[in-house]
Amino acid sequence: MSNSRSELSIILRGVAKDPLGLIGLIIVGTIAVSAIFAAWIVPYDPIGMNIPDRMQGPSAAHWLGTDNLGRDTLSRVIMGGQVALKVALPAVFGAMAIGLTLGMIAGYGPKWLDNLLMLFFDTLRSFPTVMFALAVVALVGPSLQTVVLVVMATSIPTYGRVARTQTLTLRNSEFILAERAMGASMARILGVHMLPNIIGVLGVLAAMDVPTVIALEAGLSFLGLGVKPPTPSWGALLKDGYALIRQTPWLVVGGGLPIILATLGFTFLGESLRDVVDPKLRKNR
Partner 1 sequence: MKLEWTKAPMGRRNFLKTATALGAAATLPMGLAGRAMASEGGTLRVRSYGDMSTMDPAHSNGVFDEEIHASVYNKLIQYKPGSEWGWQLDAASMIEQADPTHINFALRDDIGFTNGHGAMTAEDVKFSFERIIADDTESPNKPDMGPLSHIEVTGEREGTIVLNEPFAPLWSIALPYITGNIVSKTATEAAGGRIGADPVAESGPYLRASWNPKEKTVLTRNPDWQGDAPAWDNIEILPIDDENTAEIAFEAGELDFTRVSLGSVERYRADVPNGGALIENPSLFYVWLGMNLDHPKLQNIKLRQAIQHAIDVPSILEAAYFGAVEPSTGIIAPGLIGHRDAGSIAPAADFARAAELLAESGETNVSLTLDVLNKTTFTTTAQIIQATLAGIGITVEINVLESGAFWDSGNNENLQLVLNRFSMTPDPTYATAWFTTEQAGIWNWENFRNAEFDQLHAEAARETDLEKRAEMYVRAQDLMEESGAYRFITHEATPVVHSSGVVPALRPDGLTLLRYFGKS
* Residues contributing to the site for partner 1 (CB under 8 A): 20, 49, 51, 54, 68-70, 134, 137-138, 141-142, 223-225, 228-230, 239-240, 242-247, 260, 264, 267-268, 271, 285
Q: Closest by alpha carbon to 25, among 39, 36, 14, 35?
A: 14
CA distance 161 to 163: 5
Of 121, 66, 132, 57, the closest CA to residue 95 belongs to: 121
CB nearer to partner 1: pick between 92 and 240: 240
Residue 114's Cβ-count burial label (10 Å; 0-12, 13-18, 19+) is: middle
8 Å CB contact between 146 and 233 = no
Please identify, using beta-carbon distances, which residue of 116 and 138 lies nearer to partner 1. Answer: 138
Q: Which is nearer to partner 1, 95 or 133 (CB)?
A: 133
Instruction: Compute the least distance from the CB of residue 255 to partner 1, in Å.
Output: 12
The neighbour count for residue 156, using CB atoms within 10 Å, is 24
Q: How far is the CB of 246 from partner 1 (least distance, A)?
A: 6
Q: φ and ψ at 247, to 5 degrees?
A: -95, -45
Of 68 and 197, nearer to partner 1 (C-beta) is: 68
We find the least distance from the C-beta atom of residue 269 to partner 1, in angstroms, to be: 12
> What's the closest the beta carbon of residue 21 comes to partner 1, in angstroms?
11
- Least distance (Å) from partner 1 to the CB of residue 23? 9
